[in-house]
Amino acid sequence: MIWFSYASPIVMIAAVWISYRIGKRSRDQLEQQQGQGDIGQARVVVQDLEQISQQVRRSLVSHHASIVQFKERISKLTEADDADAMKELAREAEQILQPTIQLASQIAHAYDDIRQQTDQLSSPEQLRTDPLTGLSSRRGMEDILKMLIAMKSRYDTRFAIALVDIDGFQKINDEFGHVRGDEMLRSFAANLDSTVRETDVVVRFGGEEFIVIMPETDLLGAGIFGQRLRRSVDEKLGLSISVGVAEARDEDTLKSLLSRTDSALYSAKAGGGDCVFQHTGRHIEMARPLKNVSLPPAEDTTAEETVANTTGV
């Protein structure tokens, strides 16, 4: 690879540091659990669940207020029989629909967090592993991203992340049940894990959303990965996905990076799904689509090499 001779020392340092930090944190937690027992672990879980429930409750209250106001507007406009007012009503309906989608995603994440926290009460060693798919969990992801952000600040490295959502997944659960839904999630996770490079980290973010952390990858490379993954999932699983990607910027925190990536994903979902959007740091745009070309294996491909070898991009 063109960049490998320059980046490999940094990548090796990062890999060693990640392994050390995860291992150290796990050992520290086990020592703490041995000293405090299961009661201490239970307290942590209860606190996390309280935070989750409070966040969902606040969102539900706010959204309920919006719906009540909208119903009042419908009653008044129906009586007035005003065509222009009805058009305005349609625009208001679209504005209400957007937080509805976000709230549904938030509830799905909360449910997944509760299930993970419950598993941790009996299996503390699964703290950083998603029990359904075997991928890294959100808790492990946060440590890795914080470390990469620190590395970027100190050594001027680069990395990007992709947030992936399975389109229409709720319909699968509704029509075929949660058992079939879980099977689909495991199949999707396996396909996703086989698509990334060995240096990438795949995380189950919650519900049907997954995150891919890509060291030494720019925004172009992240967009190419998203398009390649979208094609692979369609061909192998018959599913469509929406992807939002963003490259870490100098001023990014963990929260701001995830927020930008989530905004890109929301734009992909709002655009009808089955597409890839990217956040440039200033605006959101659709990622460059791939034409009918054969792509090299993910493990041996950088963004620069892919562009050089695919004239249809």
Count CB atoms within 10 A of the CB of residue 116: 22
Phi/psi for 160 (5° steps) reads -135, 160
Q: For residue 273, give the DSSP letter.
A: S
Q: Which residue's structure tokens are 């701001």?
A: 256
pLDDT of res. 310: 33
Across the chain, which has 313 residues, the per-10-residue mean pLDDT values are 43 47 49 52 63 66 68 68 68 67 65 61 61 88 92 92 95 87 94 94 94 96 95 94 96 94 95 95 90 47 38 33
Q: Point out the catalytic residue in the list 125, 183, 208, 209.
A: 208
Question: How far apart are the C-alpha atoms of 184 and 186, rounded to whole Å?
Answer: 5
Q: List the structure tokens of 149.
A: 């952000």
Q: Is 304 an active-site residue?
A: no
- Measure the N-to-C terminal CA separation of the chain; round to a whole number of Å: 20
Tokens representing residue 44 in the block: 């942590």
Instruction: For residue 177, report the phi and psi dihedrals to the nearest 5 degrees.
Output: 95, 165
Task: Give DSSP secondary structure letters for 3-33.
Answer: THHHHHHHHHHHHHHHHHHHHHHHHHHHHHH
In the chain, what's the furthest Cα-to-Cα distance? 72
State the pLDDT at residue 303. 42
* Amino acid of residue 7: A
In sequence order, what are the beta bridge partners of 276? 243
Q: Where are the alpha helices (DSSP H) in the chain?
A: 4-80, 83-122, 138-155, 169-176, 178-195, 219-237, 254-270, 303-309
Q: Which residues have a Cβ under 8 Å from the Cβ of 198 and sit 6 or more positions away?
A: 299
Are the beta carbons of 223 and 288 closer than 8 angstroms? yes
Three-state DSSP state, 275: coil
Verdict on whether the full-model pTM lies above 0.85: no
pLDDT score, position 194:
92
Residue 49 token pair: 């669940």
pLDDT of residue 105: 65
Q: Are strands 201-206 and 209-215 parallel, antiparallel or unpaired?
A: antiparallel
